[in-house]
Amino acid sequence: MAGLDLKKDFLAALNGNAPHESLMQLVQRHQAQGLTPEESYEVLQRIWLEFGFDKNDDNNATRENLEYVMEKVWFQGAH
């Protein structure tokens, strides 16, 4: 259930207005514990969808920070 732990931790940090660097470090800590880049990206994508960012173009800090981390993880996994 490592993905659920990442989701819980990431949402808490994201809702706490953590900067994208801190969010990326959080993902990296979970990956160091065995979560793959692909699994990490899936968790982040679920968060993206739950926020409804796929249905609107509203720019805000939450969206920008999540998008930044998603891009980094995407390229890390070499999709």
pLDDT per residue as tens, the chain (79 positions): 668 899 999 999 999 999 999 999 999 999 999 999 999 999 999 999 999 999 988 889 999 999 999 999 999 875 5
Q: Which residue reads 């939450």 in tokens?
A: 62
Burial class (CB in 10 A: 0-12, 13-18, 19+), 13: middle
Please state the domain count of the chain: 1
- Position 56 scores a pLDDT of 85
Structural domain of 28: 2-76
- Position 68 scores a pLDDT of 96
- Position 57 scores a pLDDT of 82
- Position 70 scores a pLDDT of 96
